[in-house]
Structures are given as structure tokens and as C-alpha cells.
Amino acid sequence: MTEIRHEATAPTRTRWLAAGHAIDSHRHDDHQIAYAGRGVVAVTTSAGSWVAPGNRAIWVPAGTVHAHRAYGELELHFIGLPATENPLALDAPTVLAVGPLLRELIIAYTRGEDDDSPERARLRAVLLDQLRASPQQPLHLPTPTAPLLRDVCAILQADPADGRTLKELGRAVGAGDRTLSRLFRSDLGMTFPQWRTQLRLHHALILLADRTPVTAVAHACGWSSASAFIDAFRRAFGHTPGSHPTAQ
């Protein structure tokens, strides 16, 4: 069994990671906020994965075993908070919206001198106020535990553009569509179409981080047209993929 690295604290700092670089599974005693000022960051735990572009951040609760992965050239900002201080009252990894003000606060706080100055204390207080007001985003792609469901999800993760129905996928793994539909709800807490859309959106973010053209992303992720992809992306993220930070 691989030993999980343990860190007593989650340092507040900025790191630059090359595309594809990973930070192996570890845990720390502090809460952590991970924000990609450039590129896309993915956080993975045994419960699933969370992907965040430049207008999102990921909250990682203290004690959570997790790994990071960079998509695109990643400028990653980490903020550590004591386990006794949980301004969001969250006990599971969560994606949070990051507006222009919160973005600048995170960048200033992680690049500044980590001291006990009154100026830094005021900056931190405003940052926490903005975090409390940040809407939570439903961008979690849960990991299945049921063997049949793992087989179906593995097929789609290998090719998010696979357009087979649940019934057709069930034939491939030897299960009925009703059984699989119940498993999606009981094991993952969402329907099959919801999970597949989440998978495709996650994959789209990764491709956009690599500067893949929007039309190519749409086809690679299984949308019937670029306009259908743009509409789904806008509903999920509030803007079009062409204006997405990682697509510029």
C-alpha cells in the first residue's frame, strides 16, 4: 500500500506547474483553497474529482486525502486555513465561484509576505468575507463504487463522445438499463444524463486548457454541434467557451 504523505499545515503560496504535472495524494491538517490563476486545476479524492478553471476555486477540507493535476500551464494559488476556522462550513471538497474581486484578493494574499502585519490581517478578513459570499458550483464528478457502474463509467471516461444510450451501454457490461439507472441515483446521487454531462464538461475544460478550438472540443466531448456545446457550457459556467480564460 502506498503511504499517503501527511503535511501538518497547508501553506499559503503560489506554485507554477507544467501541463500534465501532478501533485501526488496527500493530506494536511489545515483546510485548503486551490485556485488556478492560469490553466485548469483538478482535485481528485476517492469520492470523485473536481475541476476548476480561472473563475472557480476548490475548497479542500482538512484531513481530506487528495491529489492535484495541472491542465495547461498552471499558476496555482494555495491558501491554508486552520482546521478550527471553516468560514464556509463545508465538510467535503466543493467548487466555488470566483469573481474579479475575490480573484485579485487570492492572488495578492498568496503572493504577499506571510507575516502577522495588520495589513495582511485586513486583506485576509476581506478575502474570507468574499469566500462566504461565493456561490457553490455543482461541478463534482463522483466516482462509482458499484462494479457494474464502474464499467459503464470507464467506457465513457475513455471516450466522452460515446453517444450510446444507457440501454446500449448496459448490453456492453451485461446489465439492464433499469438496474444501471437505479445505481446512478443510489451510488452517485445523479441521473445518467447528469453524470455524462458532468463528465463532458470536465473533459471540455481540460481540452480548452490545451488551447483546443471550441468546435473540436464540442465534437470530442459528444455534443451534436458547436452551438449545443456553447449553450451547455454557458449554462454551467456563465459564459461561452470562446471567452473562457483558458481558451484565450
| Cross-strand pairs, 31 | 81
Question: What residue segments make up the domains of the chain, in order of their start?
Answer: 5-140, 144-247
Low-confidence ranges of the chain (pLDDT < 50): 1, 246-248
What pLDDT was estimated at residue 244? 55
Per-residue pLDDT tens for 149-205? 999 999 999 999 999 999 999 999 999 999 999 999 999 999 999 999 999 999 999
Query: Do the domains 144-247 and 5-140 match in fold?
Result: no
The answer to whether domain 5-140 has CATH 3.40.640.10 is: no
Task: Read off the pTM.
Answer: 0.87
What pLDDT was estimated at residue 236? 86
Q: Which fold has domain 144-247?
A: Arc Repressor Mutant, subunit A (1.10.10)
Sign of the four-CA dihedral 59, 93, 20, 156: negative
What pLDDT was estimated at residue 136? 85
